[in-house]
Amino acid sequence: MNENLFASFAAPSMMGLPIVVLIVMFPSILFPTPSRLINNRLISIQQWLIQLTSKQMLAIHNQKGRTWALMLMSLILFISSTNLLGLLPHSFTPTTQLSMNLGMAIPLWAGAVITGFRYKTKASLAHFLPQGTPLPLIPMLVVIETISLFIQPMALAVRLTANITAGHLLIHLIGGATLALINISATTAFITFIILILLTILEFAVALIQAYVFTLLVSLYLHDNT
């Protein structure tokens, strides 16, 4: 197996032109828009899941925080559909690119922080200095809290990238091992194939969980600043 393990994570191109933008826009086509008075089962299930997720995610928010509901629901739908489409053979997963995840995390984090400094200035500044801090530790804690604040978008992006990339690499390695073992030991190859199926099912769960975690953390950052 001399192929590059990371070749599948390279940005695809067609006739020398990058097609990442088309891939990023593709998931939006998969969600049907209700156009009838009585919806079919697929749209009904879709609306029920969106309402359930939004109700759970927005329960902790005040009226100002709930104005972000459309953005949060769009975010979780986009990340989950992109992650699931990336599990198809010979497909490209945009969420394995750290640059794209940072492009989602930094504006959302910055919007939440700027909202906090605008509407809750005292409370936002109070996060930099916990109550009851000894006087000699004040400069150190301010520096630590500032660093932890600026690390938040990086942590969001790295968490999503690492989990999706690790799952794809495991599927690639175990799939290659299964093919290599077919001519050596059919029993071992069958066991490896069963492991591959279980890992694929796990990756379906991870794809949805990571979308939920990413959106939930953005929601919590927003809650702290509204």
Q: Which domain holds residue 200?
A: 5-223
For the stretch 89-128, pLDDT in tens is 777 788 888 888 898 899 999 988 888 888 878 777 777 7
Q: How far apart are CA 36 and CA 68, in angstroms?
A: 27
149 pLDDT tier (thresholds 50, 70, 90): confident
Domain total of the chain: 1
Residue type for 193, please?
F
pLDDT at 2 over 50: no
Higher pLDDT, 96 or 133: 96
Residue 109: is it exposed, middle or buried by C-beta count within 10 angstroms (0-12/13-18/19+)? buried
- What is the enclosing helix (H) or strand (E) of 129? none
What is the pTM assigned to this prediction?
Answer: 0.79
- What is residue 18's three-state secondary structure? strand
pLDDT at 32: 66
> Percentage of the chain surpassing pLDDT 90?
7
pLDDT at 58: 79
- What is residue 62's three-state secondary structure? coil
Contact 157, 98 (CB under 8 A): yes
- What is residue 106's three-state secondary structure? helix
Contact 113, 148 (CB under 8 A): no
Closest CA to 210 of 76, 110, 111, 90: 76
Q: What is the largest CA-CA distance in the chain?
A: 70
- Mean confidence (pLDDT) of the chain: 81
pLDDT at 214: 92
Contact 11, 20 (CB under 8 A): yes
pLDDT at 11: 63
For the stretch 5-64, pLDDT in tens is 666 666 666 666 666 666 677 777 777 666 666 777 777 777 788 888 888 887 887 777
